[in-house]
Chains A and B, each alone.
Chain A
């Protein structure tokens, strides 16, 4: 991937639509003053898409909101200049700024549920926008047109609905409609797809792209997701700790980063297209505090290429001339600047060292002590079945006075699967597919309404002992729960904030009847194992960052002596750099302690990176099971195929040529699933687009082994692609219903 092929195709001639110069934004005042944005400059021109990428706290959202004057009242723009179409936005009178906002500048927010007024009909919220900008006449009809243009079915009726009556995807579409209603010359999208599922994300991204292209809009996209940026942008701005560390054409930055942070960010981002397995790079330590003034490079403390002067000299963004002499790539790395654009290589040792070693307070290597005599299990017995699930169902019934009014939601529908000792199994699917419910069933926290969950634990003598979890009660059930521990998504909610870490770790140890001194030693050991200093014991959960809290949650699971760990979206709320730390920790603990890991996630790239086998769920059913490698290389279920294609890859070149299958509509409600194959209404190869597939509507497919070790629940598992010409993927996104015209020929 050399940079030669991908010089930016367009040269910017006209004056930029938006020009931001040395923007500084701070919160609070006095000693607790936080400077969130520290001198950011950029420009966007018509027809161009600029991406701003960074982790949480990097100041990327604050930057764009500050640009258009939508900061919360606690924040102040303390310096800088914002020129929009030749007009100074920061010093413009309120009325002229109001006239621009919503009309010339459209904004799409992160979470449509929160961004829309819950007590006002969606149509009305659009109408008032049109009215405010002088389009009172025919506004009602215009609203329907707008909703139609963003693909909302039955727009006339939908205009009279409230936001909560929309599905997540529809709400986001309505918000996009609002942002683009007045055909603005600048569109700002702040994490526009963070709150939606991946198949909906594909819809939304394609919609923004199409509409922006249509109106030749200047687009500014903020995202933490390198894949989204690669998919959407022409140029990219990388932010860290309130500063721009790198800027340039998307292909150059991704292929040939000129800042160590960008390089590490790229390396620590899981790529669904890369071969499975192996360890992710990660960034050591924590982002710096933004309180007060800093000296030196903000990234120095976490940087692999750090030199002494990085701590004292503050770098500025400077253009790096690459070999081709094109001059569009800026970097704020002193070493790169000094060495004529050469970024030092990532040292090999970087990936191997755990960050425990970098932590002086816990220098001694972690002591691994298997909690009981279960050392008999080893890797040779990897094919041992630890858990086998047969036809498990879980049905939620809403309470109602009358029987026929009850709503029954089948969250898990006759699922069967097996977990082997010591393996890592991924459980993926979009929200509402039942994956978390299945996780709780396995953990013994909920009881299955039908079916069996057989757990083969270690008996007292090391013999296998099989028990049906779904039948356990009382003490036996509580004993089982200790064997299967969950790690939850929200680290803040999974640790009791009323207890100190010592108390949290002590509780499970005391249950095992350990003496006080043994417990104290063991607690320290456990903290060492998860890479935290023992000084953490005295503190309470709210003193820790998200990643640290997850480490504590893992330590607690180990303290109980868990054999099976169910990680339910355990890294989903963490930043990329921290995510890598936690994943690597889990993987190394797994091999050391011979744990079985069920990794529940919506994030396919991560699942592919860490899992041996992957289970795909859709609407409460398992639709495909295969090894991580096979699953994405040769999906035998159209849903998996669509999921895979919908995940944006952090590689702009590939992303441009890749085929994106865009499924129609939203995931149906599990309360009222479609007949036959639950996926058939959205299926890109299903009856809606392909003749002769009526079977999908009438008959529910069984999960069958179509290839060795590769199961799928599709009537046409191996043959569904055959109706479609196996041609080279086009650069256009493929809409579900467009497939029909493609297959007709």
Chain B
């Protein structure tokens, strides 16, 4: 286990390095020079251009630029937003990328975690029920619902929710976000619809997965052994059917966390939530490459960390893959 841990962490660090390299190169792929991108082709002062070049070491060879940038990253300097008024007047009122990202991350994380939780709970209940009642109307309707879930784009679902629920009842606001500091009810009121819209697809996916996993487990000989031991029904269900089935479900759910982060861009737009997704979309509209770079880096880091955690939890959950 320790050996696995070390090699896996080593691999994660390598992946992180690769990620920084990719994000670094990404910005260099932008057609035209950075100055042109920042200032536009309508000439601005050479002094401002020069200042920008110095700030980002643009005169140095690429390798040097990369190493300096990496060094800055490690020290917590993720660069400055290069768009907007702040960038044009270098030195005054700089907007740090890291600060901007951190400021917006809270609603995004809350939304993502809440959706994960909701999908997991519903999926495990529904999926197990469907497997248990295989072939009945319960099974049919929950699998059909699950398929509808995976087939409905989240922005469509979000808009339908707004149209259907938010319009008829004023309890669920159709846009905005309230931090927890404004009270739990207020917080939840704002998050419920976005969470529903975001989790529906994952719910469908995990329900199907749970149903399949439980059905597979039911075919295994050890379930027959458990019945042959005369165990009470709830013991058979919990220890011999559900628990072994949950291993693939939980690990898949972990891997899906990243996909949920992707869906957040859409949902935050639909419900006008000031989170990371909106920030990224704005950055893309403004072609604010430093910010995009930072966001990609952040999401990549989350992805790598989560996959690391999933790997570890998989090893903990399933004794067969332990080394």
A31 interfacial contact with B, CB 8 Å: no
User: Do B229 and A129 have beta carbons less than 8 Å apart?
Assistant: yes
Using CB atoms, name the residue of chain A closest to B3: A405
**Shortest CB distance B220–A (Å):** 7
- Evaluate contact between B235 and A116: CB separation under 8 angstroms: no
Which of A95-103, A143-151, A522-530, A690-698 has 4 or more CB atoms under 8 Å from chain B?
Answer: A95-103
Residue of B nearest to A118 (CB): B320
Q: Would you list 9 pairs from A and B whose C-beta atoms are within 8 A, ordered by A residue?
A: A102-B228, A102-B229, A109-B225, A116-B222, A117-B225, A117-B239, A117-B240, A128-B235, A178-B225
Shortest Cβ distance from A117 into B: residue: B222
Q: How far is the CB of B320 from chain A (nearest CB, A)?
A: 5
How many angstroms between the C-alpha atoms of A226 and B235 in the bound complex? Answer: 38
Number of B interface residues at 8 Å Cβ cutoff, please give it. 25
Residue of B3, B222, B228, B232 near A107 (CB, 8 A) is B228
Q: Check if A338 is an interface residue, CB within 8 A of chain B.
A: no
A115–B224 CB distance below 8 A: yes
B320 contacts A101, C-beta separation under 8 Å? no
Q: How many residues of A contact B (CB 8 A)?
A: 31
A residues 246-292 in Cβ contact with B at 8 Å: none
Pick from B230, B317, B318: contact of A132, CB below 8 A.
B230
Contact pick for A119, options B225, B235, B244, CB 8 Å:
B244
List B211-229 residues whose CB lies under 8 Å from chain A. 219-222, 224-229
Residues from chain B with a CB closer than 8 A to the CB of A164 are 319-320
Residue of B at shortest CB range from A68? B228
Q: Indicate if the CB atoms of A101 and B221 lie closer than 8 Å.
A: no
Instruction: Tell me whether B226 and A117 are in contact (CB under 8 A).
Output: yes
Q: How far is the CA of A81 from the CA of B206 in the complex (A)?
A: 44
B55 beta carbon closer than 8 Å to chain A = no
For B7, give its contact among A65, A72, A401 (CB under 8 Å): A401
Neighbouring B residues of A162 by C-beta, 8 Å = 319-320
Instruction: Name the contact of B227 in the complex, choosing from A100, A101, A117, A119 (C-beta under 8 A).
Output: A101
CB distance from B154 to the nearest CB of A (A): 34
B230 and A103 contact, CB distance less than 8 A: yes
Q: What residues of chain A lie closer than 8 Å to B319, measured between beta carbons?
A: 118-119, 162, 164
Q: Which of A70, A102, A120 contacts B239 (CB 8 A)?
A: A120
Q: Write the chain B residue with the least CB distance to A126.
A: B229
Nearest A-chain residue to B219, judged by Cβ: A72
A118 and B244 contact, CB distance less than 8 A = yes
User: Given contacts A164-B320, A401-B7, A405-B3, are A118 and B222 in contact (CB under 8 A)?
Assistant: yes
| Cβ-based interface call for B30 (8 A) | no
A721 within 8 A of B: no
A99 nearest CB neighbor, chain B only: B230
B229–A101 CB distance below 8 A:
yes
Q: A114: CB under 8 A from chain B?
A: yes
Tally inter-chain residue pairs, CB-CB below 8 A.
Answer: 78
Distance between Cα atoms of A135 and B228 in the complex (Å): 17
- Interface mask (A396-436 → B, CB under 8 Å = 1, otherwise 0): 00000100010000000000000000000000000000000
Query: Are A98 and B222 closer than 8 Å at their CB atoms?
Result: no
A133/B230 contact (C-beta < 8 A), A117-B240, A120-B239 known: yes
Which A residues touch B247, using CB under 8 A? 119
Q: By CB atoms of chain A within 10 A, which of B225, B231, B243 has the most?
A: B225
Give residues 76-131 of A contacting B (CB, 8 Å). Answer: 97-103, 105, 107, 109, 111, 114-120, 128-129
Question: Considering only CB atoms, which chain B residue lies closest to A181 in the complex?
Answer: B229
* Known contacts A115-B222, A118-B320, A120-B239; A178/B244 CB under 8 A: no
Q: Which residues of B contact A109 (CB under 8 A)?
A: 221, 224-225, 228
Q: Chain B: which residue is nearest A178 at the CB level? A: B229
Could you say which residues of chain B place their CB within 8 Å of the CB of A65?
224
A114→B224 CA distance, assembly (Å) = 10
Lowest 7 CB-CB distances: which A-B pairs, in order? A101-B230, A102-B230, A102-B229, A114-B221, A117-B222, A98-B230, A162-B319
| Residues on B with beta carbons closer than 8 Å to the beta carbon of A111 | 221
Across-interface contacts of B224 in A (CB, < 8 A):
65, 70, 109, 115
B229 to chain A, nearest CB (A): 4
Query: What residues on A are CB-neighbors of B230 within 8 Å?
Result: 97-103, 129, 132-133
- Give the docked Cα–Cα distance between A111 and B235 (Å): 22
A119 touches B243 (CB 8 A): yes
A262 to chain B, nearest CB (A): 30
User: How far apart are B312's CB and chain A's nearest CB, in angstroms?
Assistant: 16
B320 touches A102 (CB 8 A): no
Least CB distance, B131 to chain A, in whole angstroms: 12
A726 to chain B, nearest CB (A): 45
- Which of B3, B228, B239 is most buried by chain A, counting CB atoms within 10 A of its CB? B228
Chain A residues near B225 (CB-CB < 8 A): 107, 109, 115-117, 178
Cα A99 to Cα B229 in complex, Å, equals 9
Using an 8 Å CB-CB cutoff, how does the interface string of B294-305 with A read, 1 for contact, 0 for none?
Answer: 000000000000
Say how far A457's CB is from chain B's closest CB, in angstroms. 45
What 1/0 mask marks residues of chain B from 231 to 249 whose CB sits below 8 Å from any chain A CB?
1100100011001100100
**Interchain nearest-CB distance for A122 vs B (Å):** 11
Smallest CB-CB separation from B135: which chain A residue?
A: A73
- The 8 Å CB contact of A115, one of B3, B221, B235, B317, is B221
- Using Cβ atoms and an 8 Å threshold, which residues of chain A touch B227? 70, 101
**Residues 1-49 (chain B) with a chain A CB within 8 angstroms:** 3, 7
Residue of B nearest to A69 (CB): B227
In whole angstroms, how far apart are the Cα atoms of A68 and B244 in the complex? 25
Verify B320–A128 contact, CB threshold 8 A. Answer: no
Question: Which residue of chain A is the closest to B318 with respect to CB atoms?
Answer: A119
Contacts known (A117-B240, A117-B244, A164-B320); A132 close to B222, Cβ less than 8 A: no
Q: State A117–B225 Cα separation when bound (angstroms).
A: 9
Please, which residues of chain B bring their CB within 8 A of the CB of A116?
222, 225
The residues of B that contact A115 with a CB separation of less than 8 Å are 221-222, 224-225
Q: Which residue of B lies closest to A97 (CB)?
A: B230
Query: CA A59 – CA B224 in complex, angstroms?
Result: 18
Of B3, B224, B244, the most chain A CB neighbours within 10 A belong to B224
**Alpha-carbon separation in the docked complex, A100 to B227 (Å):** 11
